[in-house]
Amino acid sequence: MPGKIKKRGSLMSLEKVKQYFDTLGLGQRVMVLDQSSATVEEAAVAVGCEPERIAKTMSFLLGEEAILIVTAGDAKIDNKKYKAHFHQKAKMIPGELVEQYVGHAPGGVCPFVIPPGTKVFLDVSLKRFDVVYPAAGTSNSAVELSIKELEDCSGCTGWIDVCKDWSGE
């Protein structure tokens, strides 16, 4: 249909994330957007914030296990820093396998309502903000969270420094 947004990620993924935030009393913060938020640039326009405030969640394979790294929208993975921290080269999960590993499709990957045992790391590039906007399970959703709320709601394993090219570095 002309004018319709192609949405990636299942509505079930969004509903599960919304239910999760409802249990925390934060359900009203989950936004279903009228336009795509699949890329940092699209998400920034849809939410109405600077691109760097989009908390992008990237999925990697560490051995056979999936891990998620949440970074600021203007940050890029630094392969040397990644290898120094994880003792192996960065290997992103192939797009067609992302949903199978982390429960959310590309464009909607977030650190919430993920398979048990999936480790979440937050990159220090996020620490310069009071509020950030990660996805909420689909390519047209986001949730507004303080850094402390992101830390708590993601059940993160810890803070790491594996990025480059972000302002403030």
Residue type, 34: D
When comparing pLDDT for 10 and 37, which is higher? 37
Q: How many CB atoms within 10 Å of residue 167?
A: 11
Architecture of domain 11-163: Alpha-Beta Complex (3.90)
Query: Tell me, what's the pLDDT at 169?
Result: 57
In 3-state terms, what secondary structure has residue 64?
Answer: coil
Query: Which tokens sit at 145?
Result: 């969270």
> Where in the chain are the domains?
11-163
Whole-angstrom distance, CA of residue 88 vs CA of residue 169 = 23
**What's the whole-number mean pLDDT along residues 6-14?**
63
Residue 93 DSSP code: P
Give me the sheet containing 145-146, strands edge to edge: 145-146, 131-134, 54-62, 65-72, 119-123, 158-160
The overall pTM is greater than 0.85: yes
Q: Which residues pair with 13 in a beta bridge?
A: none
pLDDT at 24 over 80: yes
Residue 91 has pLDDT above 60, yes or no: yes
The amino acid sitting at 5 is I
Which pLDDT score, from 0 to 100, does residue 5 have? 36
Per-residue pLDDT, averaged over 106-132, amounts to 96
First to last CA, the chain: 44
pLDDT digits 0-9 by tens, 42-89: 999 999 999 999 999 999 999 999 999 999 999 999 999 999 999 999
Which run of H or of E encompasses 122? strand 119-123
3-state secondary structure of 62: strand
Share of the chain above pLDDT 90, in %: 89
What distance in Å separates the CA atoms of residue 32 and residue 141, rounded to the nearest whole number? Answer: 5
